[in-house]
Amino acid sequence: MMATRGPRARGTTYRQQINRAPSPWRVHSVPYLSIMLASALPVLLIADVMPLAPPLGFILLLAWRLVRPGLLPLWAGLPLGAFDDLLSGQPFGSAILLWSLAMIAIELIEARFPWRDFWHDWFTAAVLLVAYWLACLLLSGAPVTREMLEVAWPQALLSVLLYPILARMVARLDRFRLARARRID
Amino acid sequence: MAPPAKRLSGFSKKAQFSLFTGYLMAGAGALLGLVLLALSLWQPAAFAPLRGAARDVVAPAGEVSSATRGGAQGLIAGIAAYLDAGRQNARLRAEVELARVRLAEAEAIKAENRRLKGLLGLADDPVRPVATARLVGSSATSARRHAYLGAGSRQGVAPGMPVVSDRGLIGRVLETGLISARVLLLTDSESVVPVRRARDDVIAFAEGRGDGMLRIRLVNLGVNPLKPGDLMVTSGAGGYYRPGVAVAVVAQLTPDGAIARLVAEPAATTYVAVEPIHQPAAVAVLSGAPLSAADAPQTPPRPASSPASGAGSAPPSAEAAGE
pLDDT of res. B308: 39
Residue B126 identity: P
Measured at the CA of A23, the angle between CA A21 and CA A27, to 5 degrees, comes to 115
**Using 50, 70 and 90 to split pLDDT, how confident is the model at B296?**
very low
pLDDT of res. B210: 79
Closest approach of A129 to chain B, Cα-based (Å): 13
Interface check for B49 against chain A (CB to CB < 8 A): the answer is no
User: In 10 A of CB B73, how many CB atoms?
Assistant: 13
Domain range for A42 is: 2-183
The 10s digit of each residue's pLDDT in B187-209 is: 888 889 999 888 887 889 999 88
Interface check for B188 against chain A (CB to CB < 8 A): the answer is yes
Q: Tell me the C-alpha to C-alpha distance, in Å, between residue B50 and each of A92, A141, B177.
A: 10, 19, 9
Q: Where exactly does CATH 2.40.10.340 map onto chain B? A: 132-286
Per-chain mean pLDDT for chain A? 86
Give domain B132-286's CATH number out of 2.30.40.10, 3.40.50.2300, 1.10.1740.10, 2.40.10.340: 2.40.10.340
Interface check for B61 against chain A (CB to CB < 8 A): the answer is yes
Q: What is the ipTM of this complex?
A: 0.79
Q: Best interface-test mutation with B: which of A41, A43, A104, A174 has the largest number of B CBs within 10 A?
A: A43
Q: Above 60 in pLDDT, residue B140? A: yes
Closest approach of B106 to chain A, Cα-based (Å): 33
Q: Above 50 in pLDDT, residue B312? A: no
Interface check for B42 against chain A (CB to CB < 8 A): the answer is no
Q: Above 90 in pLDDT, residue A99? A: yes
Higher-scoring residue by pLDDT: B314, B200? B200
Q: Above 80 in pLDDT, residue B297? A: no
The 10s digit of each residue's pLDDT in B242-263 is: 888 889 999 989 888 899 988 8
- H/E/C letters for each residue in chain B? CCCCHHHCCCCCHHHHHHHHHHHHHHHHHHHHHHHHHHHHHHCCCCCHHHHHHHHHHHHHHHHHHHHHHHHHHHHHHHHHHHHCHHHHHHHHHHHHHHHHHHHHHHHHHHHHHHHHHHHHCCCCCCCCCCEEEEEEEECCCCCCCEEEECCCHHHCCCCCCEEECCCCEEEEEEEECCCCEEEEECCCCCCEEEEEECCCCCEEEEEECCCCEEEEEECCCCCCCCCCCCEEEECCCCCCCCCCCEEEEEEEEECCEEEEEECCCHHHCCEEEECCCCCHHHHHHHCCCCCCCCCCCCCCCCCCCCCCCCCCCCCCCCCCCCC
Task: Give chain B positions within 8 Å (CB) of A110.
Answer: 3, 7
Task: Give chain B positions within 8 Å (CB) of A147.
Answer: 209-211, 213
The 10s digit of each residue's pLDDT in A153-172 is: 888 999 999 999 999 999 99
Per-chain mean pLDDT for chain B? 78
The 10s digit of each residue's pLDDT in B55-87 is: 888 887 777 777 776 555 556 666 776 777 788
Higher-scoring residue by pLDDT: A14, B267? B267
How many residue contacts between A and B have a Cβ separation below 8 Å? 217
CA quadruple B115, B120, B123, B124: dihedral positive or negative?
negative
Domain count, chain A: 1
Name the least confident of A117-131, B251-265, B301-315: B301-315
Closest approach of A5 to chain B, Cα-based (Å): 31
